[in-house]
């Protein structure tokens, strides 16, 4: 059992820091990042309520704000008036995952998330978030290269059916 304290970082979509494109969060292995979607209590017009689709992308996708550049849909903020409060999505930064298609993160590396407005709300600005995983004292371990790197050899990613299975599995665990 580890004696390291559990650290959770909380972020809210729609924060002005996301729009500038310079928002970096430093995490350590075994930290969690909680993303909170916009939430509205009162009767707001649909035009005012924010909806976002969040993608994990490579560096090129981050700089161009284009999720089609080796990115994939990670979460969708599509229930701004949910009865239970804001939707929350969590990412755990871990070296190893118990899931065969789970995400493994490497100390000393950066990971990128962007969002685009919901397709019905085009024209809103892109949100950008950079995650830096701090090196550990025992960073000699090199985990397998994650499939969202700038590797151009074409061998860096799972097939689409496997990716769909990964997303479905993540949604099941998020719902429980």
What distances in angstroms separate CA 38 from CA 8, 10, 85, one per listed residue?
A: 19, 13, 9
pLDDT in tens, 12-60: 555 555 555 567 889 999 998 888 888 888 777 777 777 788 889 999 9
**Domain locations along the chain:** 8-175
Biggest alpha carbon distance in the chain?
53
Residue 86, pLDDT score: 87
Residue 27, pLDDT score: 92
Q: Give the C-alpha separation, 118 to 129, whole Å.
A: 18
Residue 119, pLDDT score: 55
Q: Give the C-alpha separation, 163 to 109, whole Å.
A: 22
Q: State phi, psi for 90 to the nearest 5 degrees.
A: -125, 140
Averaged over successive runs of 10 residues, the pLDDT of the chain (176 residues) comes to 45 52 83 85 78 87 82 83 85 84 85 73 72 78 44 39 44 44
User: If 0-12 CB within 10 Å is exposed, 13-18 middle and 19+ buried, where does residue 127 land?
Assistant: buried
The answer to whether 129 and 113 have CB atoms below 8 angstroms apart is yes
What's this model's pTM, rounded to 2 decimal places? 0.65
Which one of 2.60.40.420, 3.30.930.10, 3.30.428.10, 3.90.470.10 gives the CATH number of domain 8-175?
A: 2.60.40.420
Pick from 13, 12, 14, 36: nearest CA to 88: 36
SS3 52: strand
Residue 132, pLDDT score: 94
For 124, residues 6+ apart whose C-beta sits below 8 A from its C-beta are 50, 117
């Amino acid at each position: 059992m580890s004696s390291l304290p559990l650290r959770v970082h909380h972020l809210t979509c729609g924060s002005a820091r996301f729009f500038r494109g310079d928002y970096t969060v430093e995490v350590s292995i075994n930290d969690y990042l909680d993303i909170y979607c916009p939430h509205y209590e009162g009767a707001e017009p649909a035009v005012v309520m924010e909806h976002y689709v969040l993608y994990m992308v490579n560096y090129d996708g981050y700089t161009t704000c284009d999720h089609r550049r080796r990115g994939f849909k990670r979460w969708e903020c599509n229930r701004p008036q949910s009865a239970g409060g804001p939707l929350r999505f969590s990412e755990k930064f871990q070296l190893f995952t118990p899931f065969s298609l789970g995400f493994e993160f490497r100390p000393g590396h950066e990971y990128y998330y962007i969002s685009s407005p919901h397709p019905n709300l085009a024209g809103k600005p892109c949100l950008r978030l950079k995650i830096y995983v701090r090196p550990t004292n025992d960073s000699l371990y090199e985990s397998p290269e994650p499939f969202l790197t700038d590797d151009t050899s074409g061998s860096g990613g799972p097939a689409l059916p496997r990716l769909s299975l990964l997303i479905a599995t993540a949604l099941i665990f998020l719902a429980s």
